């Protein structure tokens, strides 16, 4: 197995948490992983991205030159990182904030209105978990229940609020269902 991903957006959109969640989750599955974060000069509101590599063999480099998956949450990240998407790769695009123009040929682009979906659920901050649910549905890392358990374990350390955990589980489910419908039809 080899999955090379770039996750990018504004600081504060939860992409670093999402990258760490993927890395820890896959490490728990017995795979080799690297997680390489990069922050802009501002933490919240500036650009932020991380490179995640998951492999059944040792990982030679933590940087992703050609991505199997790109998850982008804002227009600057779309413009910057879509050229990294490999032929046959999948882009998960937050269509609430991104104009998808000239999608690259030979690649799958899933337009997911993550910001709108999270807002409708009651908290825009759950948009990253909408994308996490979609990402897991596309790549089939772990069963849905395992993903929710791992998210709860990681997020639970920061927030003991059951309402926050329930919202994020609901967001993961919504992203999963959206991706499954998009891929099926």
Q: CA 76 from chain center: how many Å?
A: 16
Task: pLDDT tens for the chain, 185 residues: list them.
Answer: 999 999 999 988 999 999 999 999 999 999 999 999 998 765 566 789 999 999 999 998 999 999 999 999 999 999 999 999 999 999 999 999 999 988 889 999 999 999 999 999 999 999 999 999 999 999 999 999 999 999 988 876 566 678 889 999 999 999 999 999 998 87
In sequence order, what are the residues at sequence separation of 6 or more whose Cβ sits closer than 8 angstroms to the Cβ of residue 137? Answer: 175, 176, 179, 180, 183
Contact assessment for residue 92 and residue 101, using Cβ atoms and an 8 Å cutoff: no
pTM, two decimals, is 0.93
Q: Which CATH architecture has domain 2-184?
A: 3-Layer(aba) Sandwich (3.40)
């Amino acid at each position: 197995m080899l999955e090379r991903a770039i996750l990018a957006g504004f600081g504060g959109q939860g992409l670093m948490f999402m990258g760490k969640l993927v890395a820890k989750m896959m490490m728990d599955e017995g795979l080799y992983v690297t997680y390489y974060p990069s922050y802009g000069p501002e933490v919240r509101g500036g650009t932020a991205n991380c490179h995640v590599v998951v492999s059944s063999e040792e990982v030679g480099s933590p940087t992703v030159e050609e991505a199997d998956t790109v998850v982008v949450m804002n227009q600057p990240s779309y413009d910057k990182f879509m050229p990294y998407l490999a032929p046959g790769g999948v882009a998960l695009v937050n269509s609430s904030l991104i104009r998808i123009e000239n999608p690259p040929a030979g690649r799958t682009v899933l337009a997911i209105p993550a910001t709108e979906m999270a807002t409708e659920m009651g908290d825009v901050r759950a948009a990253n978990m909408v994308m996490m649910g979609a990402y897991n549905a596309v790549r089939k890392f772990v069963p849905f229940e395992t993903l929710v358990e791992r998210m709860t374990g990681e997020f639970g350390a920061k927030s003991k609020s059951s309402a926050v955990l329930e919202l994020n589980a609901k967001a993961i489910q919504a992203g999963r269902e959206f991706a499954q419908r998009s891929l099926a039809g």
